[in-house]
């Protein structure tokens, strides 16, 4: 196998044994980018010069015997993370020329761990979308089928890992934006507990829902990335001061005597038949590994999409009010006065989906409608969280499909926002409840499209997710399959 096809832990072993250099690894990754990026379009901008400089420093560290968790490992970054001195756009025209004066906390942690940055990955504009079709910089393609979407909003990050254009990547998950593209691109994607990973330097979409997490080629790599990313950050008021376990210690533990909850509301008519078959096989594998699967109920599931599409746009309406052409980003030219400058900047700078959500959110927060919409949605959100709290008294983790269908064709749902929103029907509830979730490959559709299963656990129980996900990975035997580009 080529170096760019290996995992973090496989490359770490080679670096420790001085079989390869960090520069060798970076060269292999950029050779792959040169070969396939024209087809996939996973990146908005590459950081090639910076990557080779970081790799050279990593090789010096290795010579001196200093190898950290990610020394010399090429990592791709969703273009929603502030990177000091390097353009950060959120895939929007309004930020097409924005260069942050500081690094996000996660970027600082990755640097401290020795990571090498390959570039900023494509995404739905301001993370608003499920298909990476709303990007100002063009559409990302699914490496398994180039006529299909990679999922969203972190589609570029998922596609880059699936296409071996990096070794791992970072995404953000507001309503499924890590887990859904991970499932559709056949990689591992984790959305940590809200407050487990610092959001400082993450450009906000919906502040009570956003969370950063990793995309990786296998579950052990996910554990390695979480060891680096997780932890308290005083710069983030929502960060929780809790000890972080060694997530790698959960690898290769069994799940004997575990109880796995199967929510009846997630196994309904309308799910693609091949997704349902893959899930039934996954349940059998989990039971064969020693767990007991029981039916549970999450009775407020039917309200999740409605609640999410009030709360998320409302918070987006507030967060995106800062993009007015005054301090940074795009400013419309030839405006007669300040009011016209505001109007033209926002109408020209934002895409259709972002404007749609700003209008929905502004309406939900407006005088006379706040109680009927935002307040009511917040109350139902509390009931959704309570559903999960009660469910976890009956089971260790919950197993469900990540998506209702495999990847759909590019353009198939762009004219039907409601159908697009329903793509996240199985992932939204996790963000509303603030709990962690991980998507793991569990099968393939007849056309060779990946299918993902997601495991959900109680707050700050990412270790349980690593544990059961590693069991499924070893029993499903899917790691050897990769897209043919």
Residues belonging to the active site: 78, 153, 177
* Residue 444, phi then psi, degrees to nearest 5: -135, 145
Helix axes 352-365, 304-319, angle to 10 degrees: 100
Cβ atoms of 433 and 175 within 8 Å: the answer is no
HEC states along 172-199? ECCCCCCHHHHHHHCCEEEECCCCCECC
- Which pair of tokens denotes residue 284? 């059998």
Distance in angstroms (rounded) separating the CA atoms of residues 13 and 31: 22
Residues 6+ apart with CB under 8 A from 25: 3, 4, 11, 15, 55, 72, 73, 74, 116, 167
Alpha-carbon torsion, ordered 151, 152, 157, 161, to 10 deg: -20
Distance in angstroms (rounded) separating the CA atoms of residues 173 and 191: 6
Describe the strand order of the beta sheet including 188-191 as a list of residue ranges.
43-46, 116-121, 74-78, 168-172, 212-216, 188-191, 437-444, 450-456, 397-401, 259-263, 292-296
Tell me the HSE value of 251 on the side-chain side, using a 13 A CA sphere: 15
């Amino acid at each position: 196998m080529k170096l760019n096809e290996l995992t973090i832990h496989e490359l770490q072993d080679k670096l420790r044994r001085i079989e390869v250099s960090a520069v060798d690894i970076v060269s292999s990754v950029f050779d792959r980018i040169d070969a396939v990026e024209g087809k996939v379009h996973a990146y908005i901008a590459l950081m090639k010069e910076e990557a080779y400089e970081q790799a050279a420093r990593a090789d010096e560290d290795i010579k001196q015997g200093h190898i950290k968790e990610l020394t010399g490992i090429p990592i791709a970054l969703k273009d929603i993370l502030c990177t000091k001195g390097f353009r950060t756009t959120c895939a929007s025209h309004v930020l097409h020329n924005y260069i942050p004066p500081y690094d996000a906390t996660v970027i600082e942690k990755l640097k401290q761990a020795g990571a090498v940055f390959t570039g900023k990955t494509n995404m739905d504009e301001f993370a608003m979308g499920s298909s990476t079709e709303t990007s100002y910089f063009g559409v990302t393609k699914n490496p398994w089928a180039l006529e299909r979407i990679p999922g969203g909003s972190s589609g570029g990050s998922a596609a880059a890992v699936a296409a071996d254009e990096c070794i791992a990547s970072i995404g953000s998950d507001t309503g499924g934006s890590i887990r859904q593209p991970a499932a559709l691109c056949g990689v591992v994607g984790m959305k940590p507990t809200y407050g487990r990973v610092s959001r400082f330097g993450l450009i906000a979409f919906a502040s009570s829902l956003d969370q950063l997490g990793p995309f990786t080629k296998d579950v052990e790599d996910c554990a390695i990335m979480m060891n680096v990313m997780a932890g308290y950050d005083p710069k983030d008021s929502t960060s929780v001061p809790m000890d972080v376990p060694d997530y790698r210690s959960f690898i290769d533990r069994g799940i004997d005597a575990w109880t796995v909850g199967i929510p009846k509301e997630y196994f309904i008519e309308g799910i693609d038949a091949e997704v349902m078959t893959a899930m039934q096989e996954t349940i059998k594998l989990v039971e064969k590994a020693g767990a007991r699967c029981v039916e549970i109920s999450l009775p407020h599931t039917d309200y999740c999409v409605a609640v999410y599409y009030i709360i998320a746009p409302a918070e987006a309406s507030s967060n995106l009010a800062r993009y007015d052409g005054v301090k940074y980003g795009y400013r419309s030219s030839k405006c007669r006065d300040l009011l016209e400058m505001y109007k033209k900047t926002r109408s020209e700078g934002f895409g259709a989906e972002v404007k749609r959500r700003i209008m929905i959110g502004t309406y939900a927060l407006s005088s006379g409608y706040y109680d009927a919409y935002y307040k009511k949605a917040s109350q139902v959100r509390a009931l959704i969280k309570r559903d999960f709290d009660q469910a976890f008294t009956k089971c260790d983790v919950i197993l469900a499909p990540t998506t209702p269908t495999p990847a759909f064709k590019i353009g198939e749902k762009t004219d039907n926002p409601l159908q697009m929103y329903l793509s996240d029907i199985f992932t939204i509830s996790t963000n509303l409840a603030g709990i962690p979730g991980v998507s793991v490959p569990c099968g393939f559709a007849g056309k060779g499209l990946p299918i993902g299963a997601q495991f959900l656990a109680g707050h700050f129980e990412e270790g349980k997710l690593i544990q059961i996900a590693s069991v499924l990975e070893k029993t499903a035997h899917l790691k050897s399959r990769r897209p043919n580009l």
